[in-house]
Structure 1
């Protein structure tokens, strides 16, 4: 594959970074830490006005016609600044799925998401279910639609989303349903997460949706969920890459400036070795991410590459996050210092949709299933 950035990626990178760095300040993040929902609506609107939200959506929904490579570029920049906006869930996962698999009304919803008019999300995680591709949540046919019962956890942006995409198991197979939080039988409860991001528990107690609220029909549901999960793993890896890159920059600056025994601490062998290991880890995340994203963009088989990228994002993320805190010492644990947020964000990205151990289990299963 060719790791050279396309012109579109470079333009999106520069545009997103300029907006995010201007609006996502430490003071703004501190303000949002105390908010009911950690959502920067000003930044979200600025990204919409600049065309960033729509840029990586298909032209059929008014987008720029780009894809997962460009979306990963945006996520990398948002990860660098820890920008609290639902680009991953609303644009990369929900809007992209609606644009690709939806009917005319559903594609219009994707267009509105790209314009910043609505916020979408996808409910993937379930408690004690390590495989989101086989949901425990169930849906049964009714006289005029479907009745959905189950509980989803850590659903991004659910507290302020207009529509939630809910995968559920039906007698006919897995299907993806469009559920409005205001529907009877839907309860959204905010959860406290590692990095204080806006995530919620969504309880569905016989929530009723119409037959037109099924994405792609029940016959394609499993395929759609697999596609969403692959994009989610790549998207989390891209976000983690941005977070780790900036965290490494911050700790390298600190190691050059912090002086002990009349020498910068970065000149001590133990510190230099930790920084070198972190540098290699970030390189590993970058290489595996772009390989997986490229294969997805080319519609090539990518299950191994996607799992490898998420493994590196989780495993390397753990090591780099701890290196950042250890080298900063007590300063890194002080909530008045911005570096603690990078530790929390890296830990969130590490465990979201499967830890490093879970990724290795899935990789092992893939290898075991390969014919001898």
Structure 2
């Protein structure tokens, strides 16, 4: 079996690495954060110009016609540079729309998603809940179509998004609905996460909506898996970046007349971090490949998220501990890796919840 990436996948990652390395850095990140909403619109435009926002969009709608693995390769680079762009949710939403959308739905939103003029996001989390909990947002069908009522929380890029993919409960089950973020009945309230990102609480009051696919729960499950894998890919980049930054610091920071990287305790923590990254990488690409091929992937996605949560926790703390006081200095780089890794640790369920999900599946299988 050949486990190597295709030339297209390698080229997408290399192009993303070139742009993101050139367009990010401590000074630029500070400037973006000072602007208020932690969304680098110039970088977003650069990614769009390079075709990196269109990877999941079919060619007939102005995209590259590629898929999830290519998107994840780019997301690793986004995480490695802790770039302030919402590509993970944008890409996952575009993928689902490309898979399940009608011609009219795709024509309305995918060209803008490919060009970067429209930002797509997913509203799935609710207060004290996360996928796959049955949503309290409800969908009602009438003469004018579907209407949604209820609230979603911690919607990434929710304040700047043009289209929301919202999970909601219908009489037939759980469905995914397309909601124009500027439509009547949609109110967005700014929230902030612990890493400084600006998200939104979305309040829906009979907001007009368009059903994506069917309301039997399959679209909602697919959306949850795509969002989770995309977040795992970004987390892999975060831990890779944190490990590289910390290893470099350990080579130049001296104590007692020698680099701290030569001390056994420090070198062992960095070695453990390297193994953690390898585990993340293996489980991510296994889950991404199965999803891309349309194969059952419930356990694989949960396993990848379990590794991302555990490894993210350990490497976040290793980064701060090895850096010492510099690790929490807001003028430095290390703190961003810590806060971002901790955020992705719990996004869509932490390690305990993933282990419970895996155990539930294993317990249901015949001996």
**Alpha-carbon distance, 1:80 to partner:** 0.7
Partner of 1:107: 106
**Alpha-carbon distance, 1:58 to partner:** 2.8
User: Among 354, 361, 367, which residue is 2:362 paired with?
Assistant: 367
**Alpha-carbon distance, 1:60 to partner:** 4.1
User: Among 204, 209, 215, which residue is 2:212 paired with?
Assistant: 215
Contact 2:56/2:98 (8 A) holds in 1: no
Partner of 1:18: 18
Partner of 1:258: 253
Is 1:32–2:28 an aligned residue pair?
Answer: no
Paired residues for 1:73-84 under 5 Å: 73-84=73-84
Alpha-carbon distance between aligned partners in 1 of 2:198 and 2:366, rounded to the nearest angstrom: 43
Once the two structures are superposed, what CA deviation does each residue of 1:159-200 show, in whole Å capped at 9, x if it has no partner? 111111111001122121111222222211111102122311
Partner of 2:48: 48
Partner of 2:322: 327
Partner of 1:225: 220
Q: CA 1:131/1:16 → structure 2, altered by over 3 Å: closer, same or farther? A: closer
Paired residues for 1:1-372 under 5 Å: 2-91=2-91, 93-108=92-107, 109-132=109-132, 134-209=134-209, 213-219=210-216, 222-372=217-367
Alpha-carbon distance between aligned partners in 2 of 1:40 and 1:312, rounded to the nearest angstrom: 29
Once the two structures are superposed, what CA deviation does each residue of 1:90-123 show, in whole Å capped at 9, x if it has no partner? 12x2111111111112112122201112111110
Q: Secondary structure at the match of 1:18?
A: helix
RMSD: 1.4
TM-score for both structures, normalised by structure 1: 0.95
**Alpha-carbon distance, 1:133 to partner:** 5.3
Segments of 5+ residues of structure 1 without an aligned counterpart are: none
Contact 1:129/1:136 (8 A) holds in 2: no
Segments of 5+ residues of structure 2 without an aligned counterpart are: none
Contact 2:236/2:281 (8 A) holds in 1: yes
Alpha-carbon distance between aligned partners in 1 of 2:49 and 2:204, rounded to the nearest angstrom: 34
Contact 1:16/1:52 (8 A) holds in 2: yes
Q: CA 1:131/1:231 → structure 2, altered by over 3 Å: closer, same or farther? A: closer
Once the two structures are superposed, what CA deviation does each residue of 1:224-271 show, in whole Å capped at 9, x if it has no partner? 111111111111111011111111011001111011111111111111
